[in-house]
Amino acid sequence: MADGGGEPDQLAGERATAQFDVDGMKVAWAGSRHAVEVADRMARLVASDPVFRKDTRTMLSRKELFKDTLKKAAHAWKRIVELRLTEEEANLLRLYVDQPGYVDLHWGMFVPAIKGQGTEEQQKKWLPMAYKFQIIGCYAQTELGHGSNVQGLETTATFDPSADEFVMHSPTLTSSKWWPGGLGKASTHAVVYARLITEGKDYGIHGFIVQLRSLDDHSPLPGVTLGDIGGKFGSGAYNSMDNGVLRFDHVRIPRDQMLMRLSQVTREGKYVHSDVPKQLLYGTMVYVRQTIVADASKALSRAVCIAVRYSAIRKQFGSQDGGPETQVLNYKTQQSRLFPLLASAYAYRFVGQWLKWLYTDVTQKLEAKDYSTLPEAHACTAGLKSVTTSATADAIEECRKLCGGHGYLNSSGLPELFAVYVPACTYEGDNVQVARFLMKTVAQVATGKQPVGTIAYMGNIQHLMQCKSAVNTAEDWLNPAAIKEVFEARALRMAVNCAQNISKAPSQEEGFSELSPDLLEAAVAHVQLIIVTKFIEKLQEDIPGPGVKEQLQKLCSIYALHLLHKHLGDFLSTGCITARQGALANELLGKLYAQVRPNAVALVDAFDYTDHYLGSVLGRYDGDVYPALYEEAWKDPLNETVVPDGYQEHLRPLLKQQLKLSRL
Ligand SMILES: CCCCCCCCCCCCCCCCCCCCCC(=O)SCCNC(=O)CCNC(=O)[C@H](O)C(C)(C)COP(=O)(O)OP(=O)(O)OC[C@H]1O[C@@H](n2cnc3c(N)ncnc32)[C@H](O)[C@@H]1OP(=O)(O)O
Ligand SMILES: Cc1cc2nc3c(=O)[nH]c(=O)nc-3n(C[C@H](O)[C@H](O)[C@H](O)COP(=O)(O)OP(=O)(O)OC[C@H]3O[C@@H](n4cnc5c(N)ncnc54)[C@H](O)[C@@H]3O)c2cc1C
């Protein structure tokens, strides 16, 4: 999809060497032909609308940026209503607008919290208003003093039976809500997480719908203190979001604004817990974590698209006899740093698609009161969220380095992409909850219970604890079964080692605490196995289009083998492979990079990104990088005047003084 102007396509030669059908790859990437068509339509709609321009975003002040975000959000909503867009289309429109704002928390957390934790009656009351934007909501959980430790939150909701109301209060400075997106300036309402106190007893954290601002003039309601928490990392970037602070001074809300699907407080103040597991309180986080995994592939593929296209354009050094200079993409080092990231973008895309399926499946089961798959869904979403976000943040920075000096310019798009992406590593938790789940599974396997789903491989414990890889030549690593076996063996052996060491500790809790770094590594091994497995399973599907499956097979091998190379210590120390087999994997990687090289530009074209969405002069579809870089520089506010502001006050006196000194 090109919208880069009428320049000759400098990447045409690269595109001509592709050995596969790019349209077929677009379908594999998007998930279906329909998904390609909708994404294409929404991307063009956004790119052609002047309100959605973002090329000067990094030069705006915080206030201007925030106002611009309000404008874009209101305009997006207007277009959604006018064009009667479906939910799928609206989500894509939001993606391509590419500017974080209050709408993300409204749709991504406020609405899902009410859906997941509200009773039918509460949903009927609040959701229609939220769907029409008659109210704007956010998700107010984290406080100044506690983020990861949700049970440590201090805000209180004390039931007053005489008035049939809860009293919301912030008893300490550290109980101030701190970070919620959309809270600072935009939201009229919030789902607030607070300690429920009734009949003098603290029942722990529960969700409450609280109105914060007047629906007439947007001023904070009595007893409510509200504000923005201040500027954040990077120019532009996440500063479009009004992450906020909130304090309550004995603010009263009706009893029926406690979200009561999980537990209720009766008119008399009795606390009643229903048969729904209490962990459903964390359900909104499970939902949003699966969207964050899907977003990882989007951010990573953008960075990779920029770096691949620019590496094909950029030339440095030439042959000794004065022949043409070398495209930096032809350097083996560039390939060995870039192609694993290209492969990771595809890997995260497919695991994200699978995770969406898993989430939908769990949701359907929950509706039928089947809670059996909830722990696995929690472990998968938390684990995949943690692993994919940190790898993606590292990868964006790597892509910036791969673009040399020009990658450091805002106009490359990479600094802002990094700054806007990097909080994804922090929000929604950076801990890998999957470790506890793994330890439980190991214990269950020891009692003969057969695990299912993503941990089914642990049931094959007899084989996996003692197997030796049969790989004998580099090409043997092309066999998915060979790869799967060593990833399974590594993950299982690391988990079993942890379990054995924990059992030697004085108590399980002490063991967990002492071994937490090892547990984290075991969790990462398990999550990487899931990503590798889902990529392999994707390749077992019917994938139409000449050459498409073959390219994906190469990318799958690259993804798995680069992980093997990177974590060779794990594979060797657990005895899953020999040093020679590790060397063979590396040998094959080099061959695979050479095979991917002629397809690299076409593989990033398959992401189907407009120049508007990429927002990068280096990643332009037409490859016409240098005129664009040159032109972009002149747009900087510093270039509005030839002689800079400040010359008269600060430069001229200095220069004149130097002149006087030199005459002495
Ligand atoms: C323009 C118009 C357009 C309209 C169009 C539409 C446009 C639409 C656009 C919208 C697109 C959307 C975009 C979104 C953007 C995202 C932005 C994100 C912003 C970020 C939001 C946030 O940042 S929001 C705060 C997140 N804050 C955390 O993330 C805390 C982490 N902290 C933990 O997560 C703790 O760690 C934790 C587990 C609580 C400890 O819980 P705890 O104290 O109870 O402790 P334990 O660990 O003991 O857990 C006890 C047992 O519960 C088990 N369990 C734990 N959690 C479980 C769970 N979830 N499900 C099941 N089971 C669970 C566990 O496995 C144990 O199980 P067992 O007992 O069997 O072992
Ligand atoms: C941009 C952004 C947007 C956000 N949006 C929202 C929002 O809309 N709503 C909302 O409620 N919150 C929001 N948050 C808050 C976010 O969810 C928290 O920042 C996050 O959960 C981490 O909590 P924390 O900041 O308290 O870090 P801490 O928990 O203090 O973590 C600090 C360090 O300690 C480590 N650590 C903590 N506990 C443990 C442990 N048990 N074992 C080992 N290490 C540990 C962490 O890994 C980390 O390295 C947002 C945050 C950001 C940055």
Residue 166 pairs in a beta bridge with 159, 253
- Ligand 2 centre and the CA of 514: distance in Å? 22
Checking DSSP bridges between strand 156-160 and strand 165-169, what pairing results, if any?
Answer: antiparallel
* Ligand 2 pocket: which of 102, 106, 138, 148 to mutate (most atoms within 8 A of CB): 148
Whether residue 198 is annotated as binding a ligand: the answer is no
Give residue 664's pLDDT: 63
What residues flank ligand 2, with Cβ below 6 Å? 105, 139-142, 147-148, 179-181, 238, 243, 423, 426-431
Q: What angle do CA 239, 243, 245 make, to 5 degrees?
A: 140
- Ligand 1 centre and the CA of 286: distance in Å? 5
* 493-514 core/surface letters (b: 16 or more CB in 10 A; e: else): bbbbbbbeebeeeeeeeebbee
Helices 87-97 and 62-82, interaxial angle, to 10°?
160
Q: Is 397 a catalytic residue?
A: no
DSSP SS3 for 264: strand
Q: What is the ipTM of this complex?
A: 0.97
**Closest ligand to the CA of 152:** 1
Catalytic choice (416, 428, 485, 521): 428
pLDDT means over runs of 10, the chain (664 residues)? 52 97 98 97 98 93 97 98 98 97 98 96 98 97 97 98 98 98 98 98 98 98 98 89 98 98 96 88 91 97 98 88 88 98 98 95 89 92 96 98 98 97 90 87 92 96 96 98 98 97 95 95 97 98 97 98 98 98 98 98 98 98 97 94 96 84 67
Sequence-separated (6 or more) residues with CB below 8 Å from residue 160:
166, 167, 252
Checking DSSP bridges between strand 315-318 and strand 325-327, what pairing results, if any?
Answer: antiparallel
Whether the CB-CB separation of 195 and 155 falls below 8 Å is answered with yes
Which residue has its alpha carbon closest to ligand 2 atom 24? 147
HEC profile of 53-112: CCCCHHHCCHHHHHHHHHHHHHHHHHHHHHCCCCHHHHHHHHHHHCCCCHHHHHHHHHHH
Give residue 119's pLDDT: 96
How remote is the C-alpha of 530 from its chain's centroid? 17
Checking DSSP bridges between strand 189-198 and strand 137-140, what pairing results, if any?
Answer: parallel
Distance CA 509, CA 74 (A): 50
Give residue 235's pLDDT: 77
Sequence-separated (6 or more) residues with CB below 8 Å from residue 13:
none
Task: Say which residue the tokens 């037409």 belong to.
Answer: 622
* 170-186 core/surface letters (b: 16 or more CB in 10 A; e: else): beeeebbbbbbbbbbbb
Which residue has its alpha carbon closest to ligand 2 atom 30? 147
**Closest ligand to the CA of 181:** 2
Total H helices, total E strands in the chain:
24, 13
Whether residue 389 is annotated as binding a ligand: the answer is no
Distance CA 327, CA 4 (A): 22
Residue 193 pairs in a beta bridge with 207
DSSP states along 242-263:
--EEEEESSEEEEGGGB--SSE
Question: For residue 298, what are its two tokens?
Answer: 């989007």
**In sequence order, which ranges of 567-599 are alpha helices (DSSP H)?**
568-573, 579-596
Question: For residue 440, what are its two tokens?
Answer: 């439980």
Distance CA 582, CA 573 (A): 12
Give residue 238's pLDDT: 94
**In sequence order, which ranges of 515-578 are alpha helices (DSSP H)?**
516-539, 548-566, 568-573
Give residue 8's pLDDT: 58
**In sequence order, which ranges of 422-547 are alpha helices (DSSP H)?**
434-446, 461-466, 480-504, 508-514, 516-539
Q: Using CB atoms within 10 Å of the CB of residue 158, give its burial: 0 to 12 exposed, 13 to 18 middle, 19+ buried.
A: middle
Q: What letter does residue 143 receive in the DSSP assignment?
A: B
Give residue 659's pLDDT: 66
Whether the CB-CB separation of 113 and 259 falls below 8 Å is answered with yes
> Which atom of ligand 1 has the smallest separation from the CA of 72?
1
